Amino acid sequence: MSGPVIPANDNLRPMPGTPEELTEDERHRLRRAGERLRAATKELESLVATDPIKNRWAPEPAPPEILDAAKTAVATTLGEYVRAYRDVLGWEPPVAVPPG
C-alpha cells in the first residue's frame, strides 16, 4: 500500500491512496465503526437534545442510568472507530479536540 504515513507514530501502517487498496473486510470494518458511532451519538442526542413540540408535549429528563449507558455507548463506539481507522488507515486522530 502506498500513501503518507503519520510521522507521530512509526507503528502505523501507510494510509491507502484509494478505496480499492482496502480489502472488503477493511471497508466493512470502517463503515460499521462509523455506523455504530453515529447510532450511539444519535441515541444520546435523542435523550438530551429533544425539543418540545408546542401545544403537545415537553420532553422528560432521562433517568441517570439511561444517560450513563448512552454516554458509555458513545465512548465505546468512539474507541472502536478510532481503533478501526488507526488499524486500517494508519490514521491517529488527535487525543482531544481543541476548543473553539
Q: What is the pLDDT of residues 52-78, one digit of tens each?
A: 788 887 778 899 999 999 999 999 999
Query: Which regions of the chain are under pLDDT 50?
Result: 1-8
The grid coordinates of residue 19 equal 478505496
Is-contact 43 73, C-beta < 8 A?
yes
- Give the span between the Cα atoms of 72 and 79, in whole angstroms: 11
Give the pLDDT confidence score for residue 2 in this predicted structure. Answer: 41
Give the pLDDT confidence score for residue 12 in this predicted structure. Answer: 62
Q: How many CB atoms lie within 10 A of CB 50?
A: 13
Give the pLDDT confidence score for residue 7 in this predicted structure. Answer: 44
Is-contact 73 44, C-beta < 8 A?
yes
- Give the span between the Cα atoms of 97 and 79, in whole angstroms: 15
Give the pLDDT confidence score for residue 80 in this predicted structure. Answer: 93
pTM above 0.85, yes or no: no
- Give the span between the Cα atoms of 96 and 5, in whole angstroms: 21
